[in-house]
Amino acid sequence: MQFGIFSVSDVTTDPVTGHTPDDTERVRSMLTIARHADEAGLDVFATGEHHNPPFVASSPTTMLGYLAGVTRNITLSTATTLITTNDPVRLAEEYAMLQVVSGGRMDLMMGRGNTGPVYPWFGKDIRQGIPLAIENYALLRRLWTEDVVDWQGKFRTPLQGFTSTPRPLDGVPPFVWHGSIRSPEIAEQAAYYGDGFLHNNIFWPLSHTKQMVTYYRQRFEHYGHGRADQAIVGLGGQVFVRKNSQDAVAEFRPYFDDAPVYGHGPSMEDFTRETPLTVGSPQQVIDRYGAFVDEVGYYQRQMFLIDHAGLPLKTVLEQIDILADEIVPELRRIVEAKRPADDVPLNPPTHAERVATALRAGSLGAAHVGGTEDRWTGLRAEEGDPRNLEPTAGRPFGL
């Protein structure tokens, strides 16, 4: 199982110190957080996409492209890519470029977001949210898998003889997740294509998560992609951890009480009881998250929200260290021991694994065969300095 962190990129006043970061400080903090997560050994960093205050992550591929040059191992992803309001042509181009720049060390999650006004800002009708998600993603897939596309749909101008560039790395598109909290149509979409499904259940009880994941698994099997337990599933989560649970509760309470997303509502005690938010000791996090697999089946990715509500950067970096050093190794051991069979995927597929699958299926043209041996596969930054980018040893191409 992969373990990672995601950011919603909120700009929130620290209720303890009164400090409010400006947009520049918040963006730079996110970059520091992602690099620290890579250094600590976490598996994934994901950024959301928002186009309104108090959020700053309006350009995920810009941020992730920079991070591709200054990180080594971590998978770079999105907590939401707005499939409803972005042009599928731009999504095809931008994420194929990110795939090439990162050497395939990326994936992305489609979503509709949680901000209603974003639809008219981009000339869309929120009442068409689900149809937009379905049509736009169908076009996006064609732009990645077909060299020349003719297209006519309901929501954008037609395309005639259009080729999206750059083409996907090694002829294989990025792995795609579909994120939804409450819409079975999106779980159906993920299952239809054999893509991943991530239920970011940070505000929902586990019973609801189980219902959505079970539906996705059943439909994944229905469409012939494999058994239900072989479907690729991810979950969201939230934690705040200190050595002693009493210290964690006391430190986090003012941040919870004033948080823009759930402050001034249910008490922290009620919220932690009804949702995955866990405020306590490392063992409490291990015990709680280690039991999720018993409810939803073995799943491949667990993401944590840890940098919101005005928490200071120093505190967030400490949370990453606790996760990486004290929680993830034990949690991984517990969860992976519950994997029901060897043919149930341990993790989401890597780019190399997807290329190998395509080769076995005969779905890559001759131009792409051997691509993983001959092509640029990634960037390496010495001492974290983007000026020192070098090609991976033995690779013929540089920047």
Q: SS in 3 state form for 178-218?
A: EECCCCHHHHHHHHHHCCEEEECCCCCCHHHHHHHHHHHHH
Band (204; pLDDT cuts 50, 70, 90): confident
Residue 97 scores a pLDDT above 60: yes
Helices (H), the chain: 23-40, 60-70, 88-102, 118-121, 129-145, 184-193, 206-222, 245-258, 268-274, 282-290, 292-296, 313-322, 328-336, 351-361, 371-374
Structure token pair of residue 326: 């004290």
User: In this predicted structure, what is the pLDDT of residue 114?
Assistant: 67
* Per-residue pLDDT, 201: 81
Q: How far is CA 168 from the centre of its chain?
A: 19
Is pLDDT of 365 > 70? no
Instruction: Report d(CA 230, CA 333) in Å as an integer.
Output: 19
Nearest 5°: phi and psi at 241? -130, 135
Instruction: State residue 374's pLDDT score.
Output: 31
pLDDT at 222 over 80: yes
- The yes-or-no verdict on residue 2 having pLDDT over 80 is yes
pLDDT for residue 21: 96
Which amino acid, residue 220? F
Model confidence band, residue 230 (pLDDT cutoffs 50, 70, 90): very high
3-state secondary structure of 38: helix
- pLDDT of 43 reads 98
The yes-or-no verdict on residue 212 having pLDDT over 70 is yes
Q: b/e for 142-151, b at 16 or more Cβ within 10 A?
A: bbbeeeebeb
How much is the pTM?
A: 0.89
Query: Which amino acid, 16?
Result: V
Q: Looking at 155-169, 176-190, 214-228, 276-290, which range is the least confident one? A: 176-190
Q: Provide the pairing of β-strand 107-111 with 175-179.
A: parallel
| Pairwise CA distance, residues 325 & 251, whole Å | 21
For residue 264, name the pLDDT band (cuts at 50, 70, 90).
Answer: confident
* Residue 128's pLDDT band (cuts 50, 70, 90): confident
Cβ(68)–Cβ(131) below 8 Å? no
Cβ atoms of residues 108 and 176 within 8 Å: yes
Model confidence at 120, pLDDT cuts 50, 70, 90, reads confident
pLDDT top residue among 354 and 122: 354
Q: Which residues pair with 159 in a beta bridge?
A: 151
State mean pLDDT over 86-96.
Answer: 96
Residue 37 to residues 187, 333, 368: CA-CA distances in angstroms?
Answer: 29, 20, 33
Q: What is the pLDDT of residue 383?
A: 33
Mean pLDDT, to the nearest integer, of 137-141?
97
Residue 372 CA to residue 169 CA, distance in Å, equals 9
Q: How far is CA 292 from CA 73, 162, 283, 288, 295, in A?
A: 27, 45, 15, 7, 5
Q: Give every CB contact of residue 73 below 8 A, 6+ residues apart in sequence.
A: 38, 41, 105
**Which one, of 37, 39, 48, 42, lies nearest residue 11 by Cα?**
48
- According to the model, what pLDDT value does residue 185 have? 93
Is the dihedral angle over the CA atoms 83, 86, 88, 93 positive or is it negative?
negative
Lowest mean pLDDT among 266-270, 309-313, 381-385: 381-385
Model pLDDT, residue 377: 30
Q: Which domains does the chain have, with CATH numbers?
A: 2-361 (3.20.20.30)
Mean pLDDT score, 206-231: 97
